[in-house]
Structure 1
Amino acid sequence: MSQRQYPDGVLLGRARVPGHDHPRVVTVRDGTVFDITAKGFATVRDIAESGRAADYVQSAPGVAIGNADAILANSVAATQDASQPSLLSPIDLQAIKASGVTFVVSLLERVIEEQARGDKARADTLRGEILELIGTDLSELVPGSETAAKVKAALIEKGVWSQYLEVGIGPDAEIFTKGQPMSSVGYGAEVGLHPISSWNNPEPEVAVVVTSKGEIIGATLGNDVNLRDVEGRSALLLGKAKDNNASASLGPFIRLFDGAFTLETVKQSEIALNVTGEDGFVLEGHSSMNQISRTPESLVAATIGEHHQYPDGLVLYLGTMFAPVKDRDGVGKGFTHKLGDIVTISTVELGSLSNRVNLSTVCPPWTYGTSRLLRDLAKADLL
């Protein structure tokens, strides 16, 4: 990558540090990672809910635990040295939520998935047919608008209306639970595919960090791993397609909003994707956050409010415009992951998130949950 794996700015994360039973809260200062875990601020959730997250992280006393580049390098699962610090997912007690079909390309690909019924061989033909039928630049539509309603009516008349078009241009956004608190993995970890899937892809996204009051206080990178064949068979299989062991990746750090980095910065982010396979296959993609059809604020409002509360806050994947269609194993066969793929998602503002693809049944099982964290924090007199 041309940029560093972590950006400048006010960074907040978590690390596994030898000699400690529980994850440590960390930040980066001048290329060094500092452990800033303290009583009352022993979790990322505590800091996020303080009402002064950026100020606290900038001024909190800490202990240097190592060079940031070295810790990032040691976070790669295949070569990790357990005697040295390594990064974890940068969130802990927050709910892990995601929004879908927030970009036009993603919208059309979801329609194709549904029409193909999980058969990737039919996708290329269907793509052309559906685009010809629609005959409208959906990127110019405002979801829920009068114009969008007219397009919806025209599509129903043509017989190609879809539940994905409903959430893509209809009044209500798609918001779903990606995983349980504490279940996400971080930089360098393996990401998991359910073994029943033979058509799947990464989803490179920006994820925003939201407090229990609905305030967006920062952002990180995410891979919302997706099983296209499973979700394509039925939208009611969304949980099976989305929520599996190691299927939610976040990191490397949360970058908190300050004077130099704001939500407006996020809205203009350019996201790069690189997938490099052990078979020599390389896939590159690019997403522009300014092409999103629903604003981050509107997606957060659809997630948290009077209708639904999250007392420990949440992280929200904002969706992706990148839908990989590059042929991998032959003409018309499209893209799907192979075990061993290295997926790297990067932006100048948030750094790079890199993970290796494996089966969810082979990735390290999720065993460290909320109850274990609370017991360990209590034992350390940090609650």
Structure 2
Amino acid sequence: MTFELSEAGTLPGDGCAGTLVGRIRLDDGPHVVRVGEDGLHDLSSTFPLMGELLDHADPASAAREATGETLLTLDELLRSTVSDDVGAPRLLAPVDLQALKAAGVTFVKSMLERVIEEQARGDAARALDIRKRVESLIGGDLRSVRPGSDSALKLKEHLIEQGLWSQYLEVGIGVDAEIFTKAQPMSSVGHGDWIGLHPRSNWNNPEPEVVLVVSSKGRIVGGTLGNDVNLRDFEGRSALLLSKAKDNNASCSIGPFIRLFDDSFGLDDIRNERVDLEVSGEDGFRLSGSSSMSEISRDPADLVEAMMGKAHQYPDGAILFCGTMFAPTEDRDVEGEGFTHKAGDIVTIASRHLGSLVNRVTTSDKAPPWTFGATALTRNLASRGLL
């Protein structure tokens, strides 16, 4: 399939009306940029690191007021990002030293799928029968339960009696949210990049999510989109394999840009954002679905409080995947075994306020290796006189 990126297919529905910032790679290294109608404005002389911008008292105003040359147009950047020229300018993930964190089991539908994976022990062939049983017994009960409430604790007792209590239900409706490390800082890929699956995985899926952007002080300052690529067979065999299921080369995709909070966009917009997903396969397979943040079981601000506070700090800031209600069950090849990726799939994650994040699927051993980390970034910025 032809793989192309366009400005219209990348930007939010209102174009450049919001304050959009990101990172691009040029010959001399990474640059922090602001997206304008006339192109990408370099902010690196003022904010060489994204975290410095995010820690500003008013990041959106600071990004708009910072002076810097216009480097190239967005269309030029998108064309070069998907070109075969490895040295051409490229759009990067819009974060650098931020911790890459994620919240799990925050929507009822995906919560049930985690229970099904656990019951099936990672065997996709057993999932259909187990799904029918689990949904008939507990599906409706969970949709009106507030996590950590008295009614949640009573439901827990009932499910224990039924033999259906699960570690996933514990974090789904219990007192404590699941917050885990998705990947290492600097390891995420961006819009237009390859995303990677572990080569031994036979049951996996994309997880389209809203991603909160959080300053080092714990303040939510913006949002972006993410793909929390997941290996259902690995995690289903044992929850202790979570890091194997979640953190592989090119398994964390973020982008296309960070939309900073300003007069046009705020936390309430995130609370009501709908995230759409489309998967297009080289075999002609098509899959689509959506995830509405209004159906999340824990408020985004509460998830950030669970991640960061007096008990845990992130001096370079953090991003937080909010979870997804999308867990594809549509059969792709074998009846009853549901969806799994194939090499060459194109995954599009889109929302009204945050734009579109598009990636191609391969295996983690074939995706470009991660070679530019925190040490390389520090040396590069120092050599350019930016530190």
- After superposition, what is the alpha-carbon deviation per residue over 1:149-204, rounded to whole angstroms, capped at 9, x for unaligned? 11111000000100000001001100000011101000000001011110000000
1:197 paired to 2:201? yes
For this pair of structures, how many residues does the alignment match? Answer: 378
Other-structure match for 2:146: 142
Other-structure match for 2:67: 61
Q: Contact conserved, 2:205 with 2:340, CA < 8 A, in 1?
A: yes
User: Which residue, out of 132, 151, 155, partners 1:151?
Assistant: 155
Spell out structure 1 runs of 4+ moving beyond 3 A: 1-4, 80-84
1:16 paired to 2:25? yes
Q: Give the Cα separation in 2 of the matches to 1:16 and 1:2.
A: 18
1:130/1:53 CA distance change after superposition, 3 Å: same
Other-structure match for 1:44: 50
Other-structure match for 2:11: 6
Shift of 1:34: 1.6
Q: Return 89-98 or 124-133, whichever deviates more.
A: 124-133
Instruction: Mark the runs of 5 or more structure 1 residues left unpaired by the alignment.
Output: none
Other-structure match for 1:35: 42
Q: Return 4-13 or 336-345, whichever deviates more.
A: 4-13
Counterpart residue type for residue 318 of structure 1: C
1:2/1:33 CA distance change after superposition, 3 Å: closer
After TM superposition, the structure 1 = structure 2 runs for residues 1-383 of structure 1, keeping only pairs within 5 Å, are: 4-7=9-12, 8=16, 9-18=18-27, 20=28, 22-39=29-46, 41-76=47-82, 79-82=83-86, 84-134=88-138, 136-383=140-387
Counterpart residue type for residue 182 of structure 1: M
Counterpart residue type for residue 57 of structure 1: A
Q: Give the Cα separation in 2 of the matches to 1:65 and 1:351.
A: 21
TM-score of the two chains, using structure 1 as the length reference:
0.96
Q: Give the Cα separation in 2 of the matches to 1:334 and 1:319.
A: 20
**Cα RMSD (Å):** 1.4
Paired residue secondary structure (2:227): strand
- After superposition, what is the alpha-carbon deviation per residue over 1:246-294, rounded to whole angstroms, capped at 9, x for unaligned? 1000000000000110000011111100000111100001111100000
Q: Contact conserved, 2:7 with 2:75, CA < 8 A, in 1?
A: no
Paired residue secondary structure (1:65): coil
Counterpart residue type for residue 34 of structure 1: H
Counterpart residue type for residue 211 of structure 1: S
TM-score of the two chains, using structure 2 as the length reference:
0.95
Q: Return 305-314 or 23-32, whichever deviates more.
A: 23-32
Q: Contact conserved, 2:199 with 2:364, CA < 8 A, in 1?
A: yes
Shift of 1:330: 2.8
Q: Give the Cα separation in 2 of the matches to 1:135 and 1:293.
A: 14
- After superposition, what is the alpha-carbon deviation per residue over 1:65-115, rounded to whole angstroms, capped at 9, x for unaligned? 222123123323xx3434542200000010000000000001000000000
Shift of 1:59: 1.0
1:231/1:47 CA distance change after superposition, 3 Å: same
Q: Give the Cα separation in 1 of the matches to 2:386 and 2:288.
A: 44
Question: What is the percentage of aligned positions where both structures have the same residue?
Answer: 57
Paired residue secondary structure (2:369): coil
1:146/1:200 CA distance change after superposition, 3 Å: same
Q: Give the Cα separation in 2 of the matches to 1:23 and 1:151.
A: 50
- After superposition, what is the alpha-carbon deviation per residue over 1:221-249, rounded to whole angstroms, capped at 9, x for unaligned? 00000000000000001011001111000
Q: Give the Cα separation in 2 of the matches to 1:175 and 1:335.
A: 26
Other-structure match for 2:3: none
